[in-house]
Structure 1
Amino acid sequence: MPCQPATPDSPLSLRERARVRGESQHQNAPLATLLLGSLLLATAPSWAAETPAKQPGITQTLKESGNYTVTAAPAEPLHLDPPKLPDLSGYTAEAVEKKIDRKPGKATVQRMVQQQPLKEFTGGQNRLGEWVKRQRQMPQAIFIDGGYVNLAQLAGKLPKNALEQVEPGVFVARLPIVVNQGATLDIDKGVKELRLSQDRGAFLVNDGKLFIRDSKVTAWNEAKKEPAWYRTPNEFRPFLVSWGGAEAYLVNSTFTSFGYNASKAYGISISQYSPGMDKTMKRPRPKGWVLDSTFIDAWYGFYCYEADDLVVKGNTYRDNIVYGIDPHDRSHRLIIAGNTVHGTKKKHGIIVSREVNDSWIFNNKTFDNHLSGIVLDRNSERNLVAYNEVYRNQSDGITVYESGDNLIYANQVLGNRRHGIRVRNSVNLRLYENVAAGNQLIGVYGHIKDLTNTDRNINLDPFDTKVSLIVVGGKLIGNGSGPLSVDSPLSLELYKVAMLAPTKSSGISLPGILGEKQDEILDLLVRQQRAVLIDPVESQAELQD
């Protein structure tokens, strides 16, 4: 099981700094402050080092400008050691092999209706009709029960209209396959390819243990004798779902053309049962590892819902439709590491959305996706996004929407069509040692937006129009609309950020609030090499109450 994220100690809050300096503070004083420190335009001039150092903890008021005052402040609280990453050495094919219990089981063909693992798909006439039409009978499925079953060994033991070996090592499943509680299905290297018939409505449901190792599983159009390539969102395509209480291990395998726009049939899914069923069944959270595999032309390359401690490592997600990797609703402690995600056709490469917390997203490459490379969305908090390469995406590189308390560390965010790193309606975002270069708009962009009059469900996904950032180290290089812009910050802190290679002939330009104070701030930061604290005038008045 993954360890708890190693979230480094946060730098002292601005209120705490005020207390350390001996200033009085009010219980409800706003945190609207702006700290800027040691902003390096290239190499600091030699005379900057000659400026006498100020005593730690002593502020120096320089100038009141608009609604803010500019003061010097200590930089020590901004120090942050590199974050600790989870140990990935235990997530291997050998470790998966050891999880298999080979107590013999059996396979039978039974009706689909009134089967608990299938109620999501047979509970309404609309969905049940899909299988009536495709099977041309009361729908049936293959059920694995009682213990271990190896798929290759089933050849000849089931009717050909259920499972047929059409050439050595190549099998066509013409009925859904269901792994019941207490059962294990192993699809190993003895299966060169398992083809799930689109024509007959085949799919995979796991309610026990599912192993797919060193194999290939394809959603298959029998009529055309080719994969069930995506054509329209609502056209049935075979899918895989692993339910609450179950375990799925997908290793060194290739999955092609899975999923469509229907609940729990998105592609490759590890999901708790729907809320209504979960209340009565009370199944544990689903478990699983997805390792060193390839996913092509899926509606969603990976999806999870209310799942904990999943590992998605070393995979390739290529030319999928909506998302490459999409952990969702209240999934926790996920490891998403070392994946390559590219060519997503409709939306993002990697997205975590709606309270996906305490997770790690690191050492991934995500590029050439239709929208953003990596997204944290809808109150996903306490996550680490580190050491990723995010480039040539058609929107932002890294996007953070309504998701506070995250650490964005040492990422390479290059050549994206919009912003390098974009933060909206999110507080306590820490951006350390990132490189944002050659993006067409802003290198780092923070802003607020009122989402009240949108299709957003405010009760399900609440938000505050507040943004606060800490940006330390790293480089902002040659971004088309400037290195940095923050709209109406609750707080902003920067220290030792290099701003290089401006695209405008006038040189470095900071728009918005920063632009109003650019001359004073840059003079202080470059000349004195000090951290700078800019307090709104109204907050200082409250601090003196």
Structure 2
Amino acid sequence: MTEQPDKIKQRFGIGLLCSGVLVGALQLAAPWVQAAESEPTQTLKQAKTYTVTSAPIEPLHLDTPTLPDLSGYTAEAVKAKIERSKKGQVVVRSMLQQDALKDFIGGDERLREWVKRQQGMPNAIFIEGGYVTLQDLAKRLPDNQFRQVKPGVYLARLPIVVAQNATLHVDKNVEELRLSQERGAFMVNDGKLFITDTRLTAWREADNGPATFRKPDEFRPFLVSWGGSELYISDSVVTSLGYNTSKSYGVSITQYTPNMHKRLQRKEPTGWLLNSEFVDHWYGFYCYEAADVVIKGNTYRDNIVYGIDPHDRSHGLIIAENTVHGTKKKHGIIISREVDDSWIINNKSYDNKLSGIVIDRNSINNLIAYNEVSQNHADGITLYESSHNLLWGNKVLNNARHGIRVRNSVDIRLYENVSAANALTGVYGHIKDLSATDRNISLDPFDTKISMIVVGGTLAANGSGPLSIDSPLSVELYRVKLIAPTKSTGISFSGILGEKQEEILDLMVRRNLAVLIDPVERQTELQD
């Protein structure tokens, strides 16, 4: 149903060099632009002499990217995956010595948490051996562990664990499943978990309402789906999960921790999250070393740290047709640390505390296309230390800082994007030495290099100008519309490349040619 990861590089043409050189940036950042940054930007100033020449047009051509077929990701397809032929069993046993729970009871402090909440050695509900519904749980368990509080509404007062080779289905006959905050309830999926046409809510019994966020370290129920598992959520509302503790962020699809994975050898976890609403979670969605996850048609609203956050070494992801807004601390959508070969397409990300979409920490070979990214309180689309990515046909409008920002990344291609009415620069590229920060350089290496192509699209009415780039390797520009300048002097470049402004505009605007801008040092290297 989705394209294989090895085809994505062919489809995007990622990693190829245009006109025989790396493609880079346009304009050295003016000091007053950097001063407008809300975080300090330590750049590496290099004295370079740049030349401007026309470049061949043919190598700049890219076919419109082929998007994955989304038609098969439906509620009906989810339900078709449910295996009901074998009935499962429900048992209650100790949380101790259980692989699926070791991350949550390891160490005296975390064990004390559940001893205190359960007022004794902690137990959990285990679904094993086949298919189980919440109605089955209510029939087999006492009210102090799991009960129906009114028709269709169930309250879990113990953790629920779906074991390997088992299936739990929270279906349309369930109006709401509530997970008790006071009693330390949460959900762990080690098999298959289906949540369809219903509501899942972290529940504060003292308030008889959702366990809305109060502070980062306060326990709130969560859902985690482990290595080897499958998680499917469709046409549902999921509310108020997660807090600031590892693997307890909200809704998570994650491989086991390295030591556990070495022993258990589970395959990469996966799942589909479709046409659902995720509200007031610590992270709206998180994944780690997951594969082929589909996040389609959802609303992520008023989550605390991130809306959608795929992380370490996840790949083959489809993040499509989602609306993400109101994230309170950081970004709307972020992929970080080697999240590769994925699609971020046709999403709306707006009114988030920082950026709308972020590609971070060596995440490569991704397509970011046809997204509407607006009114975010920092940048629109941000790429940090993530080379070989393609941005196509995005609308990046009215963000509080830069429209599209690129740092320490090469072979970034911007095709047919509109970046307009952003407070600072339409496209801003820069290098930064991160070695003096708290970054783990061995885990997250970087090069202070930047290059990009800009083809087609429009840069309009951005507060600090259309493009600004610090110490590029090189740049190619073609068919870029530069309109509606905010300055009375009109469209202008600054810094070293300002000296070449007439040549750039003559080639690109008057003569409709592709422009190659690169440093003399680079040309000497190529000749040698």
TM range (shorter): over 0.9
Hey, what does 1:390 align to over in structure 2?
373
Q: Distance in 1 between matches of 2:244 and 2:136?
A: 33
What is the SS of the residue equivalent to 2:140? coil
3-state SS of paired residue (2:248)? coil
1:525 aligns with 2:503: no
User: Which AA in structure 1 matches 2:460?
Assistant: I
**Equivalent AA in structure 2 for residue 229 of structure 1:** T
Shift of 1:33: 6.9
- Structure 1 residues 76, 335: CA separation in 2 closer, same or farther (over 3 Å shift)? same
1:492 maps to 2:475: yes
Name the structure 1 match of 2:161. Answer: 178
Name the structure 1 match of 2:227.
244
Secondary structure of 2:504's match? Answer: helix
State the aligned residue count.
504
Which residue is 2:242 aligned to?
259
Per-residue Cα deviation, 1:424-474 (whole angstroms, up to 9, x for no partner): 000000000000010000000010000000010000000000000101000
Match of 2:72 in 1: 90
**Counterpart Cα distance in 2 of 1:321 and 1:461:** 25
1:166-211 alpha-carbon deviations (Å, 9 max, x no partner): 1110010000000001111000011100000001000000001100
Retained in 2: the 8 A contact 1:255–1:294? Answer: yes
2:78 match: secondary structure: helix
Aligned counterparts, 1:28-427, within 5 A? 67-102=49-84, 103-427=86-410
In structure 1, how many angstroms separate the alpha carbons of the residues matched to 2:363 and 2:461? Answer: 30
For residue 465 of structure 2, what is the amino acid of its counterpart? G
Say whether the 8 Å CA contact 1:486–1:512 is kept in structure 2. Answer: no
Q: Report the Cα distance in structure 2 between the residues aligned to 1:305 and 1:8, rounded to whole angstroms.
A: 24
Counterpart secondary structure, 2:217:
coil
Partner letter of residue 2 of structure 1?
T
Residue 13 of structure 1 pairs with residue 31 of structure 2: no
Q: Distance in 1 between matches of 2:415 and 2:303?
A: 31
Deviation per CA, 1:124-156, whole angstroms, max 9, x where unpaired? 111111111111110011100110001123323
* Partner amino acid, structure 2, of 1:185: L
C-alpha contact (below 8 Å) 2:161/2:190 kept by paired residues = yes
Residues 267 and 299, structure 1, Cα contact 8 Å, conserved in 2:
yes
Offset from partner CA, 1:216-249 (integer Å, 9 cap, x none): 0000000111100101100000000000011110
CA distance in 2, matches of 1:206, 1:226: 25
Relative to structure 1, the CA distance from residue 543 to residue 139 in structure 2 (aligned partners, 3 Å threshold; closer, same or farther) is closer
Aligned AA (2:60): L
Retained in 2: the 8 A contact 1:3–1:86? yes
In the aligned structure 2, how far is the partner of 1:318 from the partner of 1:80? 35
Q: Distance in 1 between matches of 2:132 and 2:178?
A: 18
- The runs of 5 or more residues in structure 1 that have no matched partner are 18-30, 37-64
1:70 Cα deviation (Å)? 2.1
| CA shift digits 1:345-377 (9 cap, x unpaired) | 000000000000000000000000000000000
How far apart are 1:10 and its partner, in Å?
Answer: 5.2
> Is the 8 Å Cα contact of residues 478 and 512 (structure 2) preserved in structure 1?
no
Q: CA deviation at 1:318?
A: 0.3
Superposed CA RMSD in Å reads 1.6
CA contact (8 A) 2:348 2:372 kept: yes
What letter is aligned with 2:185? Answer: A
Distance 1:255 1:183 in 2: 22
Matched residue SS, 1:7: helix
Shift in Å at residue 490 of structure 1?
A: 1.1
The question of whether the paired residues in 2 share the 8 Å contact of 1:484 and 1:511 is answered with no
- What percent identity do the matched residue pairs reach? 68
Shift of 1:161: 1.2
Superposed CA offset, 1:494-515 (max 9, x none): 1100011000000002233432
The Cα of 1:15 is off from its aligned counterpart by: 6.3
Q: Would the alpha carbon gap of residues 462 and 11 (structure 1) be closer, same or farther in structure 2, given more than 3 Å must change?
A: closer
Cα 1:533–1:141 change in 2 (3 A) is same
Counterparts of 1:210 and 1:391 in 2: how far apart (Å)?
35
Aligned counterpart, 1:20: none
TM-score by length of 2: 0.93
- Which amino acid is the alignment partner of residue 121 of structure 1? F
2:7 aligned with 1:3: no
Q: How far apart in 2 are the matches of 1:535 and 1:396?
A: 26
Give the conservation status (yes or no) of the 8 Å contact 1:35–1:531: no
Maintained 8 Å contact 1:34/1:533? no
1:451 maps to 434
Contact 1:486–1:513 (Cα < 8 Å) also in 2:
no
The answer for unaligned runs of 5 or more in structure 2 is 28-46
